[in-house]
Structure 1
Amino acid sequence: MMIKVQNQINEQAVIDNIKQLAAKVLPKGSTVYLYGSRARGDSHEDSDWDLLVLLDKEKLEYGDFDKYSYPFVLMGWDYGQDIRPHAYTKNEWFNGPHAMFYYNVEEDKEVLYES
């Protein structure tokens, strides 16, 4: 029982830090969603953290991964967690073309951060 409680505390700490980091590194108009097993509630201790990072800009540019996604990867390393951010513009995400990945994420996603 103690292990489960500790795991819940660690999960909440990761979520809180994702929100804080998003506020620090993402431009205005951005949204971060959690999807996959962590969002569905069927994750296990070694599950990764799937993040959808939507940027309010016309197109992704060279260096956007380093500026907006990679900080989440680094944060995950600090917690011993595998955080996998996937960045898109809002236009790309919502206006297609839509692959199966889109529908899977849309089914699970929950907002972690919105600016």
Structure 2
Amino acid sequence: MSHRIFKMAVAQVYPLYLAKLERKGRTRAELDEVMCWQTGHDAASLAETVGQGVDFETFFATAPALNPEREKVTGMICGIRVEEIADPLMREIRIMDKLVDELAKGRPLAKVLRQG
């Protein structure tokens, strides 16, 4: 089953993530760091990829190196436990949602990035 979000451009969601974080006093740099941590992009390749208007399916399929530490992301997002999501692409999207949510809730960046 293909979900509508799979074909949604990351560039459509990025400003929503950013607005959510900025309302809570977080920064674009923190958002980019989280997205780079999950996908293996550097800042330049992330900006280029998002700027190209790629959809989530392509974004994760072409990610340079998905971080194995992302498997440590657990908990509820959108009423669903991240670790129980069977579809790999949906799980990646929800992991990103969860990371952004944790930043917005004021968690230190090191903890969001599972560094201790």
- Regarding TM over 0.5, the answer is no
| Structure with more of its chain in helix, by fraction | 2
Q: Which has the larger radius of gyration?
A: 1
Whose relative contact order is higher, 1 or 2, with alpha carbons under 8 Å and at least 6 apart? 1
What's the TM-score, normalizing by structure 2?
0.31
